[in-house]
Amino acid sequence: MSEPDLLQLEPNIYAYPGEMRLTRPWVGVVVTPEGTVLIDSGNGPRHAEAIQAELQGLNAPPVSHILLTHHHWDHVFGNCTFPTAHIVAHDLTQKHLHVMESEPWSAEYVEAQGERFPRGKMVALMMKKAIPDWSSFRAVAAHETFTERYELRLGGYHFVMEHVGGQHEPDHCIVHVTPGNVLFLGDATYGRGMKVEWNLPALAETMQGFLATGAAWFVEGHRPPVQ
């Protein structure tokens, strides 16, 4: 099966399509003359390698930075595929990443962890499908952290990461990229757990706040981008 092509949103700004059946989120890609920036890194080496193959097809510069929206495994387990990238995350995200770094990842470990919490078995199945071979996997923490706001200027592009928290996770951040005016939201528009548990009125208010930014594109973690 061929991997999905990058979806171009604006000149040099792309989104790598997610796949729900593989628990793959949409990953942001910004190609600059000084390096390629990813917003999240995917759910494991296989996902990240597919993104890397697309970048090679574009003759894009190596990935220089990874900006993480939050700590969930499906957004950060691709970090190890980009060993030279500078990873940036919120302080709270980093605490989770340090725990992940210390864990003895394997299929057996994932199965054992899946017995410890509600919905754990389902998550374990998702993780094993995403990473069938754990021998080359390792969790990688960020190299730089921030509390409220982080800015990066690279190759003519301006990246602004802002901590927004919210229902999905307290560490959640969004990334605004200009020129192009693209807002990468990660999972900030979702609740946590089953949808019946979400506070929908509060999420609607959150979404209105994002719409008020006037971004040209909104890229969520598990839905196609919208204008």
For residue 3, pLDDT beyond 60: no
Distance CA 91, CA 142 (A): 9
The verdict on residue 90 lying in a domain is yes
The verdict on residue 63 lying in a domain is yes
Mean pLDDT throughout 180-196? 84
Question: The CATH number of the domain where 150 resides is what?
Answer: 3.60.15.10
Q: Is the pTM of this model over 0.85?
A: yes
pLDDT at 196: 67
In tens, the pLDDT along 18-33 reads: 998 899 999 999 999 9
The verdict on residue 116 lying in a domain is no
The verdict on residue 132 lying in a domain is no
Count the neighbouring beta carbons within 10 Å of the beta carbon of residue 152.
18
Range of the domain at 79: 7-103+139-220
The verdict on residue 2 lying in a domain is no
User: Which residue from 192, 184, 172, 179 is spatially nearest to 210, judged by alpha carbons?
Assistant: 184
User: Which residue from 59, 30, 65 is spatially nearest to 157, judged by alpha carbons?
Assistant: 30
pLDDT at 192: 75
The verdict on residue 122 lying in a domain is no
The verdict on residue 157 lying in a domain is yes
